[in-house]
Chain A
Amino acid sequence: MPELVSHPDEVKILSRRFGQGAADIDKYLELDGYKAVQMAIEKGPDWTINEMKASGLRGRGGAGFPTGMKWSFVPKQSAKPKYVLVNGDESEPGTCKDHLIFLHDPHAVIEGTMIAGLAIGSKMGFIYLRGEYRYLLKIMEKAVADAYAKGFLGKKIFGSEFDFDIVTQTGAGAYEVGEESALMESLEGKRGVPRIKPPFPAVVGLYGGPTVINNAETIATAPHALLMGGEAYAKVGSERNGGTRLFCISGHVERPGVYELPMGYNLKKMIYEVAGGIRGGKKLKAVVPGGSSTPVLLPEEIDIGMDFDQVGKAGSMLGSGGVVVLDETVCMVEFALRTISFYQHESCGWCIPCREGTDWLKKSITRLHAGGAVDKDIDNIRYLAENMMGRTFCPLGDAAAMPTLGFVKKFRKEFEDHLNGKGCPYEHSRELVSA
């Protein structure tokens, strides 16, 4: 069972039911469960969307798109059925927050899905979990069954005219499916290959109908934002970044864990105070601030607020909230190699710049790490990565290129130290087994 951690600076909104047994529907009800959806039913779709807009909640999957605005893009009238699709394909290395949400608060996911459904005029929602999360899928399935048994799902919910059904779905191992259009393909029983946009899912989505796709954390936050009131929720966070988010702090810190902190919380403080500093009193070398696809930050760059805008200004991205902390013992070339190996493995092969680019980057960095590269290879790596950027259907190509560019730019000296037969100067660094 994943360990729960705590720190006085946390503001527990989304995680307030963690560890309270709220997977049990009666316990969930006792803890204000299914109150927000009743409010939404009573006050209607327009009120709901306005509250979500006021909450300043932005997509927790990584893109940071304002949730209320996303919901408002769905056309009111549609010849085809509209759908809500919850993205629980959590696969971005460094990210394990949805894991805890499904484990501790599955009904919040259901309630959020219902609220999204009511807001956009949909009668059906899908909750998609990655295939590896089987034990969490079972928890979700039980929660859905319990909600049906209480009459919270199905027809005429809470005595209203609102009908809503939820189906849970399992993936079967594919990072790419976390991309929204690939996710729809997967749910339609196909290979997880991205679709070209436009049309955007809000217009043509799942089964051709207008679809709202939200990350599981975003969806689970919706009931809390309504209960608190949009404005009150927004105030917890920073400017244009409403509320809190679950930050997954991993790597070389004393107390790794998932902490719920206000948007805009200082990254340095997060590492040194909340997570207890660098393990074993070692020196900090680098931080990957938002999952493996986000460009690395140097120790002198981490005195920033963790919200979408401030991290963007610092040249990286808030991403999925996975803060990966590296101490001085890490070989950055090895770390870059492990990162690109992942993207090479996960590229679906649809777009050539991504398929070929990730493969060549992996080969080039493998050779460099082993000492078989010369000076111009470093620029070749940079050139390859630059030419992947913005040239693919989905963001996986960028997700592979961006961190690579960051490693080369910020740790060039370390790349140079491997050249001309010298090989890796770090004794413990090894040739990676390819996954």
Chain B
Amino acid sequence: MAAEMTSIFSPELAARFDKLVTLYPVRRSALIPMLLYAQDEVGYISDAVVTEIAERIGITELDVKSVLSYYSMLRTKPAGKYNIQVCTNISCMLRDGYGILEHCKNRLGIGHKQTTADGLFSLEEVECIGACCWAPAVQVNYDFYDQLTPEKMDKVIDDYAAGRGKETI
């Protein structure tokens, strides 16, 4: 990209993006990873993120928005610092995934795709996360917690509230 462009991303992420677009036979193949990594840093896909990614790849903003709207992990509004994603698909459902979801709702006082007032937690009911044999399972951002009970779920939330949770990015 042109050197004069000021990036909204951190220098590390900008450097990563510079490399990413060169890895594939076409630059556009970097689009989905770039959107996800941008979201990890910015918190959501803002208009500014769309503009800069479109420019870096050399496609229109409309192209970026069209792709963005397809993928369920990409969001255009901020979520909580810790986004709790509770799987309720069949294997989790059979092992009380809905109970875990209800427990999280009651504990946090929020519903599906809502965020706590302090911005620390958001909650989402999600489709299968590939932890079926260790159900019920949730993801907090990218980290998995499995074979949950309401008590174990409380501990997970307590750990994040106290700044002791895992944070894989």
Q: Is the CB of A93 within 8 A of B71?
A: no
Q: Is the CB of B127 within 8 A of A192?
A: no
A133 within 8 A of B: yes
How many A-B residue pairs lie within 8 Å, measured between CB atoms? 164
Q: Which of A99, A186, A430 contacts B98 (CB 8 A)?
A: A430
Question: Hey, which chain B residues are within 8 Å of A306, CB to CB?
Answer: none
Q: Is the CB of A335 within 8 A of B147?
A: no
- Roughly how many angstroms separate A292 CA and B90 CA in the complex, as a whole number? 8
Given A81-B25, A292-B89, A338-B89, A93:B132 Cβ within 8 A? yes
Q: Is the CB of B36 within 8 A of A94?
A: no
Chain B residue with Cβ nearest A288: B90
Given A170-B33, A435-B125, A189:B131 Cβ within 8 A? no
Given A170-B36, A188-B26, A189-B29, A250:B130 Cβ within 8 A? no
Q: Is the CB of B146 within 8 A of A2?
A: yes
Which of B71, B98, B133, B139: most chain A CB closer than 10 A? B133
- Roughly how many angstroms separate A93 CA and B126 CA in the complex, as a whole number? 12
- Roughly how many angstroms separate A252 CA and B57 CA in the complex, as a whole number? 48
Q: Is the CB of B142 within 8 A of A186?
A: no
Q: Is the CB of A173 within 8 A of B89?
A: no
B128-149 residues with Cβ-Cβ distance < 8 A to A are: 128-135, 139, 142-144, 146-147
Given A93-B127, A433-B112, A433-B125, A338:B91 Cβ within 8 A? no
B15 within 8 A of A: no
B49 within 8 A of A: no
Which of B73, B143, B146: most chain A CB closer than 10 A? B73
Q: How far is the CB of A98 from chain B (nearest CB, A)?
A: 7
Q: Is the CB of A92 within 8 A of B94?
A: no
Interface flags, A314-358, vs B, CB<8A=1, else 0? 000000001011100010000100110010011010000000000
A225-282 residues with Cβ-Cβ distance < 8 A to B are: 248-252, 256-258
Q: How far is the CB of B125 from chain A (nearest CB, A)?
A: 5
| A-B residue pairs in contact (CB < 8 Å), sample of 12 | A2-B131, A3-B147, A81-B25, A93-B89, A93-B128, A96-B134, A134-B142, A135-B143, A172-B36, A174-B72, A432-B98, A433-B88
Q: Is the CB of B134 within 8 A of A324?
A: no
Chain B residue with Cβ nearest A207: B25
- Roughly how many angstroms separate A138 CA and B37 CA in the complex, as a whole number? 13
Interface flags, B79-114, vs A, CB<8A=1, else 0? 000000000111101110010010000000000100
Question: Hey, which chain B residues are within 8 Å of A3, CB to CB?
Answer: 134, 146-147
Given A335-B90, A339-B90, A172:B32 Cβ within 8 A? yes
Q: Which of A91, A192, A250, A335 contacts B133 (CB 8 A)?
A: A250
Q: Is the CB of B90 within 8 A of A91?
A: no
- Roughly how many angstroms separate A250 CA and B129 CA in the complex, as a whole number? 14
Question: Hey, which chain A residues are within 8 Å of B72, CB to CB?
Answer: 172-174
Question: Hey, which chain A residues are within 8 Å of B112, CB to CB?
Answer: 433
B6 within 8 A of A: no
Known: A96-B131, A189-B67. 19 other contacts (CB 8 A): A3-B134, A3-B147, A90-B130, A93-B127, A94-B128, A95-B132, A96-B134, A131-B73, A132-B139, A172-B36, A173-B72, A173-B74, A189-B28, A189-B30, A192-B70, A256-B132, A324-B91, A430-B98, A433-B112
Which of A3, A93, A124: most chain B CB closer than 10 A? A93
B5-42 residues with Cβ-Cβ distance < 8 A to A are: 23-26, 28-33, 35-36
Q: How far is the CB of B90 from chain A (nearest CB, A)?
A: 5
Given A93-B128, A95-B130, A338-B88, A135:B95 Cβ within 8 A? no
A171 within 8 A of B: yes
A142 within 8 A of B: no
Chain A residue with Cβ nearest B166: A135
Q: Is the CB of A433 within 8 A of B133?
A: no
Which of B31, B32, B67, B169: most chain A CB closer than 10 A? B32
Question: Hey, which chain A residues are within 8 Å of B33, CB to CB?
Answer: 169-170
A155-214 residues with Cβ-Cβ distance < 8 A to B are: 167, 169-175, 186-192, 207
